[in-house]
Amino acid sequence: MTTLICGSIAYDTIMVFHDRFKNHILPEQIHILNLAFLVPEMRREFGGCAGNIAYNLKLLGDAPLIMATVGDDAGPYLDRLDRLGLSRAHVRHVEGSYTAQAFITTDLDDNQITAFHPGAMSFSHHNRASDAAEATLAIVAPDGRDGMLRHAEDLAAARIPFIFDPGQGLPMFSGDEVLHFLDLARYACFNDYEARLACDRTGRSLDELAGRLEALIVTRGAEGSHIYAGGRRLDIPCAPAKAVVDPTGCGDAYRAGLLYGIARQWDWERTGRLAAVMGAIKVASRGGQNHVPSRGEIAGCFAAAFGRAPW
């Protein structure tokens, strides 16, 4: 089974301010805000939802396809995909643009100020999911608005089951558009905030939204996740992490576990627990793609958390 990952490829530039923002932002002066922060620590990470999900599926032993758009500065990322053995047959270069990127400044209290430039991501609608004829499962992850709509419609027309995963892109869509996505998709995945927003936008309850799908997954951070399927709610516990270092990319790692289990027609209990383990492994490492467990180590983490190996 070949899984198509429709979503963003991005660079994350992360800077650390060795002080607290609150010491430099004067509430009575915010109408003339003009600040500069000295950031002696800086690192650049490979990210984007499509890149992160594909990376985690590769760790599990899959060979996913990435469908994304990148800019003129994508060379280091494309080289990385080659080294990892991830196909870039459906990664489109948009000339005259930058690859999507986030610039994140963090202070000593872990507060963040982020600027995001979508760049080539805004042209994701030029990709057609139907071009990936070998795909048998897919996910529509955060990407350009028009691209997400087109990919969902293409996948539905091709009868390829997919997960609708709007993430931080959910506010771009009206309630009717969210319902349209759910009617095209077979599965959907939200975090708890996004689930509440989806209910608010659509005027429907979570149970009503779940009724339009084979399964609706709601992640809840350290409290685990809920999977609504077959008219019932399955509570998936959080897998213990060796350390809590950085949550960046945990949701993407979780989604890779979902896709792996769905592709193999596992039951939801087993699928959800693998997703939880992938998230726990990721949170112990800084950045979205720096954890390097072997498949055997992933199985060992699953067994330690849940009493038996997943395969």
* Full-model pTM: 0.94
Q: What is the pLDDT of residues 261-272, one digit of tens each?
A: 999 999 999 999
211 vs 31, residue with greater confidence? 211
**pLDDT reading at 67 higher than 90:** yes
Q: What is the pLDDT of residues 162-175, one digit of tens each?
A: 999 999 899 999 99
Which residues are CB-neighbours of 185 under 8 A, at least 6 positions away?
140, 152, 156, 161, 162, 163, 164, 213
**CATH fold group of domain 3-8+49-98+121-306:** UDP-N-acetylmuramoyl-L-alanine:D-glutamate ligase (3.40.1190)
Q: Report d(CA 169, CA 175) in Å as an integer.
A: 13
Q: If we measure between CA atoms, which residue out of 150, 154, 181 comes closest to residue 165?
A: 181
**pLDDT reading at 110 higher than 80:** no
The pLDDT value given to residue 30: 81
Q: What is the pLDDT of residues 71-108, one digit of tens each?
A: 999 999 999 999 999 999 999 999 999 999 999 898 88
The pLDDT value given to residue 247: 86
Q: Report d(CA 72, CA 122) in Å as an integer.
A: 14
**pLDDT reading at 311 higher than 80:** yes
Q: What is the pLDDT of residues 128-164, one digit of tens each?
A: 999 999 999 999 999 999 999 999 999 999 999 999 9
Q: Report d(CA 170, CA 180) in Å as an integer.
A: 13
**pLDDT reading at 256 higher than 80:** yes
Q: Report d(CA 130, CA 156) in Å as an integer.
A: 10
Residue 140's DSSP bridge partners are: 6, 164
Q: If we measure between CA atoms, which residue out of 50, 42, 119, 122 comes closest to residue 91?
A: 50
**pLDDT reading at 215 higher than 80:** yes
The pLDDT value given to residue 106: 87
